[in-house]
Structure 1
Amino acid sequence: MKTINLGNSGFITPAIAVGCMRINKIEKKEAESFIKTALDLGANFFDHADRYGNGACESIFADAIGMSSSVRENILLQSKCGIRQGYFDFSKEHILKSVDESLKKLKTSYLDVLLLHRPDALMECEEVAEAFSELHTKGKVRHFGVSNQNPSQIQLLQKFVKQPLIINQLQLSITNATMISEGLHVNMNDDAAVNRNGGVLDFCRLHDITIQAWSPFQYGTFEGVFLGNEKFPTLNAEIDKLAEKYGVSNTSIALAWIFRHPAKIQPITGTMNSGRLRDCIAGSEITLTREEWYGIYKAAGNTLP
């Protein structure tokens, strides 16, 4: 398994993170088998959130992996907080409480990474800074980051937070690639030129922030996957052609497209299927040519100026 340095922190993780949002949808034995496969493949970085499965996924994961001190030494854990029922909450009180609850559910004394899940319009940066410092000083969280934030929001938060923000988890897939298209249509009078993300892709590269791509196979907002979908015949034909060329699955090619970008983006997988996880990992071993990368990009309906 290839590895990646998150930001410039020296924190080395696998090239993909195993998303555990759906672990509550499978039986315990299936979860145990899936986690064992992930570990056997070197995919030992697991992504969680306090809200996944209405708060149940972290506990299910800990039970499935048989959490112990020896197990914990060989895995990396990331979780997120800030989403509550009907609103967002970056208060110091909530951040500290959420982390303590996640640690209890995961049966561990620390998180390798904590992300703020979605921007809170009522965020008091000083409170976040105090929470992060307390968590870091007490050894409960080693690294920090954000999710779904634009450059200005990150800069504002970093002004107060002492610890470097090394991750920004953002939605990115072949069909949801506005952060890429806006950089291609600079100075053009078309819809693709609209700056919807504040130049977040280049900002993260400039400031050594690793982008983690969530829902790398989804189109729209949780509308479904584009692979094998009749709504995307041209895209699937292009992906299938390359899958045959490289002797891999269409899943591998879809992730190879993300890996090809020089930003060194880290995909978050969401599958609980061991075979598909293998296909995801295989994607990290493929280097698409420029022509192939742009061919996929255009086949998804994205345009070039």
Structure 2
Amino acid sequence: MRTIELGTSNLQVPVIAVGCMRINNLSKTDAERFVQTALDEGANFFDHADIYGAGECEQIFAEAVHMNASVREKMILQSKCGIRRGMFDFSKEHILESVDGILDRLNTDYLDVLLLHRPDALVEPDEVAEAFDRLHSSGKVRHFGVSNQNPMQIQLLKKSVKQPLVANQLQLSITNTTMIDAGIHVNMLDDAAVNRDGSILDFCRLNDITIQPWSPFQYGFFEGVFLDNDKFPELNAKINEIAGKYGVTNTTIAIAWILRHPAQMQPVTGTTNVDRLKDCIKASEIRLTREEWYEIYRAAGNILP
């Protein structure tokens, strides 16, 4: 598995992150097979969040991998906190309490990476900094990042937080490309020119923050997958054509399209299907040409100015 450096962390991670949001839908046997397959394929970076299955997903993962010290050394664990029922919470107390719960459920002494989930409108950067300092000094969290945040929100945190923010998890797929569109349609009088996120793509590249695209197969906001979907005939025809050229599946090409971007992104898979996971991992071996990348981009309905 090809690796990249996660932000400025000096931590080498696989270019594919294995999302565990749906692992609670698997039987114990299937969960064990899923996690072991990922490890066997070199995909040892696992993404969690304390809200996935109300914490159940983290516990199931730990049981599936038979967590112990020797197993822990073979993997990189990331989790997220900050979402509560009906609210977002980046208070020091909640962050510290959340991490203790995460570590307990994952049966580990530390997280490699902790991300702050959806932005909290009432965030107090100094409180976040206190929490991060305590977690870092105690060894409970080694690296920190954010999720779904724009440049100014990150800058606000960095005003107080001492540790580098090494990752930003953002929605991106072939059919959800607003962060790319705005950069292509600069100074144009069309909807694609609307800057909806403060140029977060360029900001992350300039500040060496690794973007972790989530829902790489979804269109809209969890409306469904675009692959083999009758709503996207031209896109699927183009993806299938290129998949045939490389002798891989359409799943592989959808991930390879994200990996082709020079931002050095780390897409987070959401599948619990072992074969599809292998198809995602295979994308790390493929580099689409510039022409192929733009052909897919246009086939998704994007118009170049």
The two structures share one fold, judged by TM-score above 0.5: yes
Structure 1 equivalent of residue 272 of structure 2: 272
Q: Which residue of 2 aligns with 1:128?
A: 128
* Secondary structure at the counterpart of residue 284 of structure 1: helix
What is the match of residue 173 of structure 1? Answer: 173
- Distance, in Å, in 2 between the alignment partners of 1:81 and 1:241 is 40
Distance 2:183 2:6 in 1: 23
User: In the TM superposition, what is the alpha-carbon distance from 1:38 to its structure 2 partner?
Assistant: 0.6
Q: Post-superposition shift, 1:8? A: 2.2
Which amino acid is 1:66 matched to?
H
Aligned to 1:213: 213
Question: How many angstroms apart in 2 are the aligned matches of 1:9 and 1:111?
Answer: 14
> What does 1:58-73 correspond to in 2, within 5 Å?
58-73=58-73
2:98 paired residue number: 98
Any idea what SS the aligned residue of 1:262 has?
Answer: coil
Worse-matched range after superposition: 217-226 or 278-287: 278-287
Partner of 2:249: 249
Residue 36 of structure 1 corresponds to: 36
Q: What is aligned with 1:89?
A: 89
- Aligned residue number for residue 52 of structure 2: 52
> How far off is 1:302 after superposition?
1.0
Q: Deviations over 1:280-301 (max 9, x none)?
A: 0111111111111000001001
TM-score normalised by length of structure 2: 0.99
SS at match of 1:102: helix
Aligned to 1:259: 259
Q: CA deviation at 1:55?
A: 1.5
* Aligned amino acid, residue 223 of structure 1: E
TM-superposed deviation, 1:205: 0.2
Hey, what's the Cα distance between the residues in 1 that align with 2:167 and 2:153? Answer: 13
Distance 1:173 1:285 in 2: 19
Q: 1:145 aligns to what?
A: 145
Counterpart secondary structure, 1:160: coil
Partner of 1:230: 230
Return the alpha-carbon distance in structure 1 between the equivalents of residues 9 and 70 of structure 2. Answer: 25
Give per-residue Cα distances to partners, 1:182-208, cap 9 Å, x unaligned. Answer: 000000010000000100000000000
State the match for 1:281 in structure 2.
Answer: 281
Letter in 2 for 1:229: N
Unaligned runs of 5+ in 1: none
TM-superposed CA distance for 1:279, in Å, is: 0.4
Cα distance in 2, alignment partners of residues 183 and 303 from structure 1: 13
Letter of the 1:94 counterpart: H
Identity of aligned residues (%): 72
Q: Which sections of structure 2, spanning at least 5 residues, go unmatched? A: none
Counterpart of 1:157 in structure 2: which amino acid?
Answer: L
Deviation track 1:240-262 (CA, whole Å, cap 9, x = no partner) reads 00000000000000001000000
What's the offset of the Cα at 1:129?
0.2
Amino acid at match of 1:141: V
1:22-80 deviations in Å (ceiling 9; x for gaps): 00011010000111111100111100000001221000000010000111011110000
RMSD: 0.5
Q: Write the letter of the residue equivalent to 2:287.
A: T
Give the 3-state SS of the residue equivalent to 1:266 in structure 2.
coil
Query: How far apart are the structure 2 equivalents of 1:66 and 1:303?
Result: 49
Once the two structures are TM-superposed, the CA of residue 98 in structure 1 deviates from its matched residue by 0.1
CA deviations 1:153-210 (Å, max 9, x no partner) are 0001011000000100000000000000000000001000000010000000000000
Amino acid at match of 2:229: N
